[in-house]
Structure 1
Amino acid sequence: MDSVDSLFHPDLLAKYSANGPRYTSYPTALQFHDDFDPADYFRAASDAGASASELSLYFHLPFCDTVCFYCGCNKVVTKNRARARPYLDRMKRELALQAARFDATRPVRQLHLGGGTPTFLSDRQLAELMAATREHFALAPDEEAEYSIEVDPREADPQSIVHLRTLGFNRLSLGVQDFDPVVQAAINRIQPFEMTADVMRAARASGYKSISADLIYGLPHQTVDSFSRTLDKILELAPDRLSVFGYAHMPQLFKMQRQMDASAMPSPAERLAILRRVIERLTDAGYVYIGMDHFALPGDELARAQAQRTLHRNFQGYSTHADCDLIGIGASSIGKVGDVYAQNAKDLPGYAAAIDAGQLAIQRGVRLSADDRLRRDIITQLMCNLELRYDEFEIVYGIRFAHAFAHELERLVEFEADGLIALDSKKLEVLPAGRMLVRNVAMVFDRYLGQQPLTRFSRTI
């Protein structure tokens, strides 16, 4: 297990800290264009060669009862629960429209409900959604698939957690962020520890295969000591996975972030010190550092997938199911089918108008070029497996890696000199000191970065 000293080098983190993509896709969503032809998506969906691959479904539920000031998600804040009904009805119609484009025998191995707050829907409505999904798609058995849902403990009591398990969900992702009352007040998310603990206990008793929790550092009033107490509390609950995100303050894009006092946010030095404490506490507690901001217990499927070089990355982050075609359901959802990305209309009126007209709500997208496919595979390997074995790309793509990427390899010489990576004639390996900066390494292979404002991305550290 890597020590905190081998992973954490403040001078290098400061040197390389920059705005950059998280590479949940390549090209990133900034390269999607409005004149995208949905026929490209239809052709990819019906491609006979794709029929052997498995499917992943993502549902976007945008509604939230209250707003968290830090949030940059596509959401609709409302206390009117009646708004869920027409949205649910349209998702069910969209399921039918999407299913008609795909081979009905292709198994669904992964399903994820995100938001917003998926549990804004009632227990009965969630049951209705899952029944419609099973009507149109072949969901793999529980032991062969990952069916996950994002849960806000303020919205889901223990009885709801039991209900979700009966619907087929076998993995939970719990939003926590911070247990400190002062921080919670500053971000408008009041969530006592016992509320989260009750949900976690119910999930354990109900037999969920994996439970993850999200924390955020860099929020107002956070200190090393205060966040250490949050870490102590979350470790009491022992989630199988932990995501500890660095807060991305972009009030120019997300107006609600202006509600927080920027002067109360930790300084860059304090923020780095918090991050060091995170790595120290979690690795000491036995968690495997997967990469970027993700940790998992050694027995969790995420850690096992990385050890077996089968880890993948999609719009929900790290995934254990590689090479699935992803179907996006709901406003703003993004699908990836073959070499095509397609995104639904982001706004509810635009989404509703398309579905009501009996059409898919695809509004933007991109069809990947041969160069895009090659670079996507390179970036995926870096982000997931922390290495590039040149011969793997040479065999698949018919290239000489050192020749095709001579410019990129030259740019990486400085990374090697700083001890972030190791280069030789056969491979590129991300060293422990570079694992926290793997986004920076991947950015070297991104040919689009000079064409878009980096301020649209979060900081790499």
Structure 2
Amino acid sequence: MKNVDFDQFEWNAALIERYNLAGPRYTSYPTAPQFHAGFDAEAYRQALIDSNASQAPLSLYFHIPFCAKVCFYCGCNKIATGDTSRCGPYLERLYQEMDQIAAVVDTSRPVHQLHWGGGTPTFLSHQQMRELMQQTRARFQLRDDDQGDYSIEIDPREIQPDTLPLLRELGFNRMSFGLQDLNLQVQQAVNRVQPREMTEGALQQARELGFRSLNLDLIYGLPHQTPESFAQTVEEVIDMSPDRLSVFNYAHLPERFKPQRRIRAEDLPSPEHKLLILEQTIRRLVEAGYVYIGMDHFAKPTDSLAIAQREGRLHRNFQGYTTHSDCDLIAMGASSISQVGPTYAQNHHDTEGYEAQISQGQLATLRGLVLTQDDILRRAVINQLICHFALDTQAWSRTWGVAFNDYFASELAALKTHEQDGLIEIRPEGLRVTPAGRLLIRSLCMVFDAYLDQPSLGRAFSRII
């Protein structure tokens, strides 16, 4: 099928109200609620061994859970502390985990992608960051040609003048900066005061050092935000000209995330204002030349993410949209999730459980999943729709040796309602998501999800919009 025009979307308020239910974000399929304790450390170890037969390149993820200060909106797995000494024992366990993995994985497989997330990875001292990269390089085949995607999440409040030069020296060439909002009242309400000059200065320094892709994270739905105030933030962000933008929806769940109890529900924008903020933001970013990649991601047309989407190579995993669909993702650290061959494996969530299991000479796997053939077929459909807004069903049938229309006859019947509502076109050659359907892509993907238990959706997942 011909690629769709990616910088078009249609905001249909009536359809959004009708379909704006809870649903997965599809960073994996099956989604994390399907993971189970029957998939243990030994199962993950065997999956790592089996993966060597493919000789697929590697993507490495390291979770650094420490932050100097807690942001009240945060729902991430993190430890807010001023005690930098806590990093030492955690890093030692990371090195032990690397040893255990390197003992079974063919480490000649090149590492095409590497990411440090958190938490705040730059909470580590410069010496600790240097050591972590050295320990990684000693065990895995890191690239030396600067052609891999080596990225790190940055809090501009927690860097020194020589931090970014060090990261570039260590081999990082991509960065993601937390920003959230530039309005001072909003920043104060979420305990993250970060003047524009601080973020802009870090972006400028990163460009001068040769970082080739810079991302800014924004959050809408925070206390005291209004459509007018967030529109001003978006204008200033456009002026800063990041290569990519993530615009996340704040989900207020104080019963699950203790820091959110510091946010007063009465200070949050109304649902109507949240939708207006999102609509204005998408329109303005597209107008400014950004490509609406999907979900909450935007990129300049020249960015590798937009290029991969145009060329049909975009993929989605636990880190969001990615250009590396061919890699086995090996994730290390507390709560991290790996995707190796037809398996998912998640480490212990808390650092105590993680460190205890690693110190006993075992991989820290808490739960996981081996995909069935049905899972793999459905994952291929969902990934194609959520990344490319179109599916060539005839090509899919040839690739998998399965007649799409027969295998998914009930799903195609269920999609008729979506087609009547103008969200998708069902054609003999395949499926095409309409501009109105792109904002509701999660709803379309849910039709192909064999695990959804409708009564539990609201407890397990956020709303689509």
TM-score with structure 2 length normalisation?
0.96
The one-letter amino acid paired with 1:458 is: S
1:245-297 C-alpha deviation (Å, 9 max, x unpaired):
11112223212212111112111111111111101211111100100110000
Verify: 1:152 aligned to 2:166, yes or no: no
Verify: 1:336 aligned to 2:339, yes or no: yes
1:371-396 C-alpha deviation (Å, 9 max, x unpaired):
11111111111111111111233223
SS in 2 for 1:7: coil
**From 417, 420, 423, the counterpart of 1:420:** 423
2:212 alignment counterpart: 209
Verify: 1:325 aligned to 2:328, yes or no: yes
1:290 alignment counterpart: 293
How many residue pairs match? The answer is 460
**Aligned partners of 2:51 and 2:442: how far apart in 1?**
35
What does residue range 185-224 of structure 1 map to in structure 2 within 5 Å? 185-224=188-227
CA contact (8 A) 2:40 2:365 kept: no
2:305 alignment counterpart: 302
**Aligned partners of 2:370 and 2:455: how far apart in 1?**
18
2:96 alignment counterpart: 93
**Aligned partners of 2:295 and 2:443: how far apart in 1?**
11
1:390 alignment counterpart: 393
136-145 or 56-65: which moved more?
A: 136-145
Q: What is the CA-CA distance between 1:364 and the residue it aligns to?
A: 0.7
SS in 1 for 2:63: strand
**Aligned partners of 1:269 and 1:262: how far apart in 2?**
15
Verify: 1:311 aligned to 2:314, yes or no: yes
Verify: 1:350 aligned to 2:356, yes or no: no
SS in 2 for 1:147: strand
Verify: 1:136 aligned to 2:131, yes or no: no
Q: What is the CA-CA distance between 1:3 and the residue it aligns to?
A: 6.9
SS in 1 for 2:386: helix
The one-letter amino acid paired with 2:165 is: V
2:74 alignment counterpart: 71
**Aligned partners of 2:195 and 2:176: how far apart in 1?**
17
SS in 2 for 1:289: strand
**Aligned partners of 2:176 and 2:161: how far apart in 1?**
14
2:172 alignment counterpart: 169
**Aligned partners of 1:173 and 1:231: how far apart in 2?**
17
Q: What 5-or-longer segments of structure 2 have no aligned partner?
A: none
CA contact (8 A) 2:146 2:173 kept: no
CA contact (8 A) 2:35 2:368 kept: yes
**Aligned partners of 2:327 and 2:6: how far apart in 1?**
31
The one-letter amino acid paired with 1:456 is: A
**Aligned partners of 1:83 and 1:451: how far apart in 2?**
42
**Aligned partners of 1:326 and 1:243: how far apart in 2?**
22
Q: What is the CA-CA distance between 1:451 and the residue it aligns to?
A: 7.1
Amino-acid identity (%): 53
1:373 alignment counterpart: 376
The one-letter amino acid paired with 1:460 is: I
Q: What is the CA-CA distance between 1:44 and the residue it aligns to?
A: 2.2
**Aligned partners of 2:6 and 2:329: how far apart in 1?**
34
Verify: 1:459 aligned to 2:458, yes or no: no
Q: What 5-or-longer segments of structure 1 have no aligned partner?
A: none
CA contact (8 A) 1:51 1:106 kept: no
Cα RMSD for the two superposed structures: 1.4
Residue 263 and residue 105 in structure 1: after superposition, are their counterparts in 2 closer, same or farther (change >3 A)? same
1:178 alignment counterpart: 181
**Aligned partners of 1:395 and 1:89: how far apart in 2?**
48
**Aligned partners of 2:374 and 2:6: how far apart in 1?**
35
CA contact (8 A) 2:117 2:153 kept: yes
SS in 1 for 2:162: helix
**From 405, 408, 429, the counterpart of 1:405:** 408
TM-score with structure 1 length normalisation?
0.97
Q: What is the CA-CA distance between 1:439 and the residue it aligns to?
A: 0.7
1:45 alignment counterpart: 48
2:117 alignment counterpart: 114
**Aligned partners of 1:344 and 1:451: how far apart in 2?**
27
Q: What is the CA-CA distance between 1:49 and the residue it aligns to?
A: 6.0
Q: What is the CA-CA distance between 1:323 and the residue it aligns to?
A: 2.2
**Aligned partners of 1:141 and 1:418: how far apart in 2?**
51
Q: What is the CA-CA distance between 1:35 and the residue it aligns to?
A: 2.3
Residue 367 and residue 48 in structure 1: after superposition, are their counterparts in 2 closer, same or farther (change >3 A)? closer
CA contact (8 A) 1:142 1:168 kept: no
**From 7, 23, 27, the counterpart of 1:24:** 27
SS in 2 for 1:87: helix
SS in 2 for 1:266: coil
1:275 alignment counterpart: 278
CA contact (8 A) 2:41 2:364 kept: no
45-54 or 413-422: which moved more?
A: 45-54
2:244 alignment counterpart: 241
